Amino acid sequence: MKKGYVRLAIPTIQSDSIVDGEGIRSVIWFQGCSHDCFGCHNPETHDFKGGTEVSLKDVEKQIDELEFQEGVTFSGGDPMMQIEALEELAKYVKEKGMDVWCYTGYTYEEVIELGKSNPHYLEALKYIDVLVDGKFVMDLKSFECTFRGSSNQRIIDVAKSLKEGKAVKYKNYK
């Protein structure tokens, strides 16, 4: 992959989602995931060679054109597996005044650990408001979980977590 490019699933940006975080938001679907969660609802985003390679500048232009969106959610695949692109796009979204949600199969603690050898993980967290963490586990699937598929996944308030040095739950969602 060329520097300044990212592999995204199609559609690159989906607008007007009400199920991928609070409010009306857009979702950017990252291509590539190695977690291999049985029952994943986005298996078409797992292949690292799939999707479409686009420049980050082109994605930023699409973000500029968004209207009536309260925030942007990064999903996939796993956005953390393209950490430099995630960092840059999350920063760009925050500069536009929108909130950022990110879904990952890693736990918050695993992301912190990855940040010890690659500072882009810790830098990206600074621009993410809410992290939905953990692998999807079919045996823990629940339709009662808000904004996630299985009860082991957590909704993390990233700013509070970074400040307190441990994962802090975001609001009181089931």
Other CB atoms within 10 A of residue 41 CB = 9
Quote the pTM value. Answer: 0.95
pLDDT truncated to tens, each residue of the chain (174 aa)? 777 888 888 777 999 999 999 999 999 999 999 999 999 989 999 999 999 999 999 999 999 999 999 999 999 999 999 999 999 999 999 999 999 999 999 999 999 999 999 999 999 999 999 999 999 999 999 999 999 999 999 999 999 999 999 999 999 887
The C-alpha atoms of residue 104 and residue 16 are separated, in whole angstroms, by 21
Angle value at C-alpha 63, between 124 and 26, nearest 5 degrees: 80
DSSP classification of residue 140: G
Residue 43: count of CB within 10 angstroms of its CB: 13
- Strands (E) located in 18-129: 25-30, 52-55, 71-76, 99-103
**All domains in the chain, ordered by first residue:** 5-164 (3.20.20.70)
What pLDDT is recorded for position 10?
76
* CB atoms near residue 49 (< 10 Å): 9
